[in-house]
Amino acid sequence: MLDVASVLRIFLAFLYRERLIATDLGCSVEAPQRRRLTNLPRSISWADVQTVLDGVDRRSPVGKRDYAVLLLMVTYGLRAREIAALTLGCIDWKRQRLLVAERKAGHTTAYPLSAMVGEAIIDYLQYARPTTDSRALFFQVVAPYRPLTWWSVSQQTARHLRKAGIRVPRAGSHTLRHTCAQRLIDAEFPLKTIGDYLGHRSAEATEVYSKVRIEALREVALGDGETVL
């Protein structure tokens, strides 16, 4: 809508400049107000997540890679850019930690390396990652072998969502990131903790998830002594 308003103002200015209209009406066209927190996070259920993971062909190199990538997104809520930037040095096998550097908030986060994620990465490293001197973790599966880009991460995620028959607006990596956040909300973690976990730059970035605290909102709506019909 903002683009439509801008185009309309330019068109009206053109008409006025060419003397096709007597008054410059461009200044009367106002852009629609953009309000914060108007959209709901586009998460999916955990059952849908399992459907997506079960649909990955882990026998193929691309399947081994994508399975590890999907687990990283849904377990840690990583952005596509953060996954594309991962290197071999980001995994501290001795301490069982995953290090995510250069986050949007400008800091590095150290996560406990879950057994499932670790096993998926090992499977990829042993049987699917191409032989290369690059320290990047994830690569394209066809020659010339280049590090996986953030765009490819998002596109592959969208492909697996479609393959599983899951329809969400703007399917991509953020779908699983929002799903990770939803799991934390359901577990009743404070919004500050969730924001730190997801690497948000400010508390305002996490506020949108307050809209999906379903049980808390139900309690507010019902009041004391009322029940769900």
Cα dist. 183→35, 42, 95, 223 in Å? 26, 13, 26, 25
| DSSP reduced 3-state for 110 | strand
In the residue annotation, 104 being an active-site residue is answered as yes
In the residue annotation, 42 being an active-site residue is answered as no
Active-site entry in 67, 76, 124, 209:
209
Half-sphere exposure of 139 (CA within 13 A, CB side): 21
Write down the residue that tokens 């393959």 correspond to.
163
In the residue annotation, 79 being an active-site residue is answered as yes
Active-site entry in 9, 58, 64, 79:
79
The DSSP bridge partners found for residue 87 are 136
Cα dist. 221→87, 119, 127, 218 in Å? 47, 44, 53, 5
In the residue annotation, 200 being an active-site residue is answered as yes
The DSSP bridge partners found for residue 111 are 98
Pairing of strands 97-100, 91-92: antiparallel
Active-site entry in 64, 129, 177, 178:
177
Active-site entry in 104, 135, 163, 201:
104
Phi/psi of residue 69, each to 5°? -65, -45
What CA dihedral angle connects 54, 138, 202 and 49, to 10 degrees?
A: 0
* Sheet bearing 109-112, strands edge to edge: 91-92, 97-100, 109-112
- Residue 20: its H or E element: none
Q: Which residues are catalytic?
A: 79, 104, 174, 177, 200, 209
